[in-house]
């Protein structure tokens, strides 16, 4: 089994810890001393050794990837000339694997998700690999815990089989981010999962679907593949990438693929989409405070989330705050409004304060 970790994103939702020069996947967001991409790689221990991991990222982050995951061969850190969404990134990894192990099974993983139950995750991934070996494109379907309107959903159909209480289902269809009402109906009806962007497939099956559904992308990937190991490799990659469609693997492949399966995942998955999400992945003290990192002294303060690089944080009679203390910036917000971090970033960008982005 192989893994491709998608690490090209530059999110602003976890600013000021996530920065242009060190996006969240290369930062320690949960305060455990390990960056998110390191967590992602370590989570595969016993299932995918580091020498079988591929990382797709931007040129600006290749150095961080090498530094943070020294066990991954440098030749497997694949640099996208520009971001083209997930489908080309996955295609690029498949092109590389096609040469050495075209029937190998590949797990595709975002670099910036938290999964609390590593063993549960590995069991689901192992199960997905078995199903993928039989020719399915498998997605891990995250058991929804509430009517989230920020994720796409996957609707299962018939059971394929159940091994050791780990079922795999055919997929009826993929659904885009729903309205609140629709999301609520999904939960009532049952059989729906959040689409967390974790996929498992044989390399040849994935490439065959890309060829069938997006022949232009496939042709460009083939051109890139033909130039690999030649002096022109980088130039060919750059030239093809310039015209590569920017498209997600969901749209490009999964939604209309043949033989698609879903393996349910119940393992404390969280994409840490905003600072308040830390609350669901950290332990709380008896007053509901979540201390990701830092020394905190509390007087009558409840339900706060604190991340401090190194300074003492003293809180007096405050509640429901998010406090993020970094080297050059201090962010304090109401927990219910942390998605507005994007507005802060936009304001700073408009002011030309790029050093803070």
DSSP state of 178: P
Looking at the DSSP assignment, which residues form a beta bridge with residue 19?
A: 22
CB closer to a copy of itself, 41 vs 348: 348
Token pair, residue 173, equals 């269809």
Q: From the CB of 21, what's the least distance to a copy of itself, in Å? A: 16
Query: Look-up: residue for tokens 């332990």?
Result: 283
Token pair, residue 336, equals 């219910």
Q: From the CB of 353, what's the least distance to a copy of itself, in Å? A: 8
Tell me the CA distances in angstroms from 262 to 48, 156, 195, 259, one per residue in order: 20, 7, 10, 10
Reading phi first (left if > 0) and then psi (alpha if -120 to 50, else beta), residue 268 is in: left
Determine the Cα–Cα distance for residues 139 and 264; give it in Å rounded to an integer. 9
CB closer to a copy of itself, 240 vs 279: 279
3-class SS of residue 144 = coil
The distance of Cα 145 from the centroid of its chain, to the nearest Å, equals 19
Q: From the CB of 281, what's the least distance to a copy of itself, in Å? A: 21
CB closer to a copy of itself, 163 vs 332: 332
Q: From the CB of 114, what's the least distance to a copy of itself, in Å? A: 22
Determine the Cα–Cα distance for residues 80 and 238; give it in Å rounded to an integer. 8
3-class SS of residue 54 = strand
With contact defined as beta carbons under 8 Å apart, do 48 and 2 qualify? Answer: yes
Q: From the CB of 340, what's the least distance to a copy of itself, in Å? A: 5
CB closer to a copy of itself, 134 vs 320: 320
| Number of neighbouring beta carbons within 10 Å of residue 165 | 7
Q: From the CB of 328, what's the least distance to a copy of itself, in Å? A: 6
| Number of neighbouring beta carbons within 10 Å of residue 173 | 12
CB closer to a copy of itself, 18 vs 308: 308
Residues binding a copy of itself (CB under 8 A) = 16, 297, 299-300, 308, 311-318, 321, 323, 325, 328-334, 336-338, 340-341, 343-344, 347-348, 353, 356
105-110 and 137-142 beta bridge pairing: unpaired
Q: From the CB of 149, what's the least distance to a copy of itself, in Å? A: 20
Determine the Cα–Cα distance for residues 217 and 202; give it in Å rounded to an integer. 18
CB closer to a copy of itself, 284 vs 329: 329
CB closer to a copy of itself, 233 vs 356: 356
Q: From the CB of 284, what's the least distance to a copy of itself, in Å? A: 18
CB closer to a copy of itself, 55 vs 324: 324
CB closer to a copy of itself, 260 vs 305: 305
Token pair, residue 300, equals 């009558």
Token pair, residue 239, equals 């030239």
Q: From the CB of 325, what's the least distance to a copy of itself, in Å? A: 6
- φ, ψ dihedrals at 351, nearest 5°: -85, 0
In 3D space, the residue among 335, 331, 305 whose CA is nearest the CA of residue 17 turns out to be 331
């Amino acid at each position: 089994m192989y893994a491709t970790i998608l690490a090209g994103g530059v999110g602003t939702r976890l600013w000021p810890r996530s920065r242009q020069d060190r996006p969240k996947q290369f930062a320690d967001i949960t305060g455990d001393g390990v960056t998110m991409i390191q967590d992602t790689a370590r989570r595969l221990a016993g299932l995918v050794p580091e020498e079988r991991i591929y990382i797709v990222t931007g040129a600006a982050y290749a150095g961080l990837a090498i530094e943070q995951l020294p066990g991954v061969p440098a030749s497997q850190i694949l640099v996208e000339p520009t971001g083209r969404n997930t489908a080309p990134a996955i295609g690029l990894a498949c092109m590389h694997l096609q040469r050495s192990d075209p029937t190998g099974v590949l797990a595709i993983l975002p670099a910036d998700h938290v999964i609390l139950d590593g063993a549960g995750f590995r069991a689901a991934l192992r199960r997905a690999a078995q199903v993928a070996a039989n020719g399915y494109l498998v997605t891990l379907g995250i058991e929804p815990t509430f009517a989230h309107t920020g994720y796409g959903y996957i609707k299962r159909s018939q059971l394929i089989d159940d091994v050791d209480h780990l079922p795999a289902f055919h997929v009826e269809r993929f659904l885009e981010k729903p309205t609140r009402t629709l999301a609520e109906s999904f939960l009532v009806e049952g059989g729906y999962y959040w689409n967390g962007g974790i996929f498992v497939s044989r390399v040849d099956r994935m490439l065959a679907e890309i060829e069938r559904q997006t022949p232009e992308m496939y042709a460009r990937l083939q051109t890139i593949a033909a130039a690999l190991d030649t002096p022109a490799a980088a130039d060919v990659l750059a030239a093809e990438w310039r015209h590569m469609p920017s498209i997600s693997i969901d749209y490009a492949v999964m939604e209309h693929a043949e033989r698609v399966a879903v393996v349910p995942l119940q393992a404390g998955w969280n994409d840490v989409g905003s600072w308040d999400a830390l609350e669901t992945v950290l332990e709380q003290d008896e007053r509901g405070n979540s201390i990701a990192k830092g020394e905190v002294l509390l007087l009558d303060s409840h339900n706060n989330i604190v991340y401090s690089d190194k300074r003492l944080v003293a809180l007096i009679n405050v509640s429901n705050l998010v406090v993020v203390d970094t080297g050059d910036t201090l962010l304090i917000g109401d927990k219910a409004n942390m998605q507005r971090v994007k507005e802060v970033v936009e304001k700073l960008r408009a002011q030309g304060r790029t050093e803070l982005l």
